[in-house]
Chains A and B, each alone.
Chain A
Amino acid sequence: MSSVLREMGSLALFFKTVIHASLQKDRSQGGRARLIREQIAEVYSRSFWTVVFSGVFVGAILALQFNAMLVDYQATSLMGGITASACIREVGPLIISFLLAGKIGAYTAAELGTMRVTEQIDAIECLGTNSIEYLVVPRFIAIVSSAVLLLVVGLLVSLGGSMIIGSLASGVNPLQFLASIPRFAGLGVFGAGMLKSLAYGFIVAGVSCHQGYTASGGARGVGRAVTWAAIYTNLYIVLANFFLGQLIEGFSILTEGLF
């Protein structure tokens, strides 16, 4: 338990350093915008098709599960709304952030960890460049922004997947499917999904960069960094999901009727 608390403290300090560096005037070689663009391209090339592929099946699985219940209550016309709500509010952000943790988080931890143990980060510092600004900030911003954009992509394809299954398994008309979405998934639900994606993006980016940046002890150290990046990311995402869920629930009660 004490090691988890120590890790949380160290991560909080790392977050502070990275956010402080992000807000500083851009002094990066080649410009921060270019470095961020490169990292976003890296994130998309590594995870876009994985998100699309798994998004289709997540939607299909949800549709199949809900179909069994909705048929009993003769309410299959509500399938679009119920699937969209579950997807946007809970399953979508969670699954996509787990995927990002596996694909991008592990890659980032391994890449930065290797740079640390082969003294590349020390060399960058000795050559008069702030390694946090040059290496961590672009990766951090790219992962956080990509998490939100990939969620939108994932949600769209998962809705497509559930629409196809809804149509094939219970003959739900696609137009009827789409028409029921606003009844269950309004602006509030969409906002909750975005907020969760943003928070999980912060966790994936922060934990993987932190683990890689602080790696030590050669190849074994890099292996440890990647393993702990995966463990801590998933742990923090589950914890954040619980607390954000409570927060959003409380907020929705307070603002009932406004959205």
Chain B
Amino acid sequence: MREVIAFRSCSKSFGKRSILSDVSFSIAQGEIVFVLGRSGMGKSVTLKHIIGVMKPDSGSVEVLGKNLAALDGRGLSDLRRKCGMVFQQPALLDSLTVFENVSFGLRSPEFVQSRRDAGLKPLSESEIRARVLEVLGLVRLGTEILDKRPPQISYGMQKRVSLARTLAPGPEILLFDEPTTGLDPITTQSVNQLVRELSRKLRVTAVVVSHDMHCALQIADQILVLDDAKILAKGSVDEIKQSQEPLLIEFLSEALENLREVEPA
């Protein structure tokens, strides 16, 4: 499978503190990869490197075959448009309705320009509406919330609207920054299922930054564990389960306990 994200000997420090030290890994197209680790171990920094918000002190990051260090502002904007980011919080604009929020990316100058560059016209209002309804359907939301503002719907619904907004411009890579933090177990389960379903249905690559091994065991294709600025472990769910690393064993015992509670024999 095509390699869509590659970190090659990346190092990043903030002052004297090393966050990433000679980190190398790659992610293939269509994979769901969980980046796990304790707080402050460089998970979000990894995500920020993928969308080009941060640059490594040494080494290189390649996304969709392009070295981010070689891209100018326009190239970076173009690349970011292909990477949909789902934030820890829903991050919906309170002053806009659900419809306006979901259609926001479809009306953005970058999206309009990208269509013009491809020789296409900007989407018409009816096409925008159809696309909004399509992505809301993908996250299992109906039309009854279209005219509501974010504070008028539940937090779980806001998370789904946020996901729909990210999906609307058709990204090739989905980046999730701790998508289930602060959610109750049922909503967490449904968000996890959505991540898996959408990744499979839309054939997009998903990178999920989390500290939740329990979620990772349920939906990940690959798990990457960061600790002390290095990759502690990388592999499939089965490979990670068999790891003898003390930190992983601690992570795993807690997660497997939770898994047994959720799925009683």
Mutual binders A and B: yes
**Chain B contacts of A29 at CB under 8 A?**
104, 107-109
**Chain A contacts of B188 at CB under 8 A?**
none
Contact with A along B160-188 (1 / 0, CB 8 A): 00100110010000000000000000000
**Chain A contacts of B80 at CB under 8 A?**
125-126, 128
Task: Please tell me which stretch of B3-11, B84-92, B201-209, B219-227 contacts chain A, meaning at least 4 of its Cβ atoms lie within 8 angstroms of it.
Answer: B84-92
- The contact of B104 among A115, A127, A130, by CB within 8 Å, is A127
**Chain A contacts of B77 at CB under 8 A?**
128
Q: How far is B87's CA from A122's CA once the two chains are assembled, in angstroms?
A: 9
Q: How far is B77's CA from A27's CA once the two chains are assembled, in angstroms?
A: 15
Contact (Cβ within 8 A) A128 B51:
no
Contact (Cβ within 8 A) A127 B105:
yes
- CB contact under 8 A between A119 and B109, given known A29-B104, A127-B104, A128-B169: no
Q: How far is B93's CA from A118's CA once the two chains are assembled, in angstroms?
A: 10
Q: Which of A101-159 contact B (CB under 8 A)?
A: 115, 118-120, 122-130
Q: How large is the interface on A (under 10, 10 to 19, 20 to 34, 35 or more residues)?
A: 10 to 19
- CB contact under 8 A between A129 and B108, given known A119-B87, A119-B88, A123-B87: yes
- The contact of B81 among A30, A120, A122, A128, by CB within 8 Å, is A128
Contact (Cβ within 8 A) B169 A127:
yes
| Chain B residue at minimum C-beta to C-beta distance from A29 | B107
Asked if B34 CB lies within 8 Å of chain A CBs, one says no
Q: How far is B105's CA from A124's CA once the two chains are assembled, in angstroms?
A: 8
- CB contact under 8 A between A128 and B92, given known A122-B87, A123-B87: no
**Max chain A Cβ within 10 angstroms of own Cβ: one of B77, B81, B107, B166:** B107
| Chain B residue at minimum C-beta to C-beta distance from A25 | B109
Q: Which of B139-174 contact A (CB under 8 A)?
A: 162, 165-166, 169
Q: Which of B45-77 contact A (CB under 8 A)?
A: 51, 77
Contact (Cβ within 8 A) A118 B89:
yes
Q: How far is B114's CA from A129's CA once the two chains are assembled, in angstroms?
A: 13
Contact (Cβ within 8 A) B87 A129:
no
Contact (Cβ within 8 A) A123 B85:
yes
B150 to nearest A CB, angstroms?
10
Question: Number of residues in B with C-beta < 8 Å to the partner?
Answer: 25
A92 to nearest B CB, angstroms?
32
Q: How far is B51's CA from A149's CA once the two chains are assembled, in angstroms?
A: 43
| Chain B residue at minimum C-beta to C-beta distance from A121 | B91
**Chain B contacts of A120 at CB under 8 A?**
91-94
Q: How far is B44's CA from A119's CA once the two chains are assembled, in angstroms?
A: 14
**Chain B contacts of A125 at CB under 8 A?**
80
Contact (Cβ within 8 A) A126 B111:
no
| Chain A residue at minimum C-beta to C-beta distance from B111 | A128
Asked if B110 CB lies within 8 Å of chain A CBs, one says yes
A29 to nearest B CB, angstroms?
5
Contact (Cβ within 8 A) B91 A123:
yes
**Chain A contacts of B104 at CB under 8 A?**
29, 124, 127, 129
B203 to nearest A CB, angstroms?
21
Contact (Cβ within 8 A) A128 B110:
yes
**Max chain B Cβ within 10 angstroms of own Cβ: one of A115, A125, A128:** A128
The 3 lowest CB-CB distance pairs between A and B, nearest first, are A128-B110, A128-B108, A127-B105
Q: Which residues of B line the A interface, CB within 8 A?
A: 51, 77, 80-81, 83-85, 87-89, 91-94, 104-105, 107-111, 162, 165-166, 169
Q: Which residues of A line the B interface, CB within 8 A?
A: 27, 29-30, 115, 118-120, 122-130
14 contacts between A and B (CB under 8 A): A119-B88, A122-B87, A123-B92, A124-B104, A125-B80, A126-B166, A127-B104, A127-B105, A127-B111, A127-B169, A128-B80, A128-B81, A129-B108, A129-B109
Starting from the known contacts A126-B85, A127-B169, 7 additional A-B residue pairs (CB-CB under 8 Å) come to A29-B104, A115-B93, A123-B91, A124-B93, A126-B84, A127-B105, A128-B109
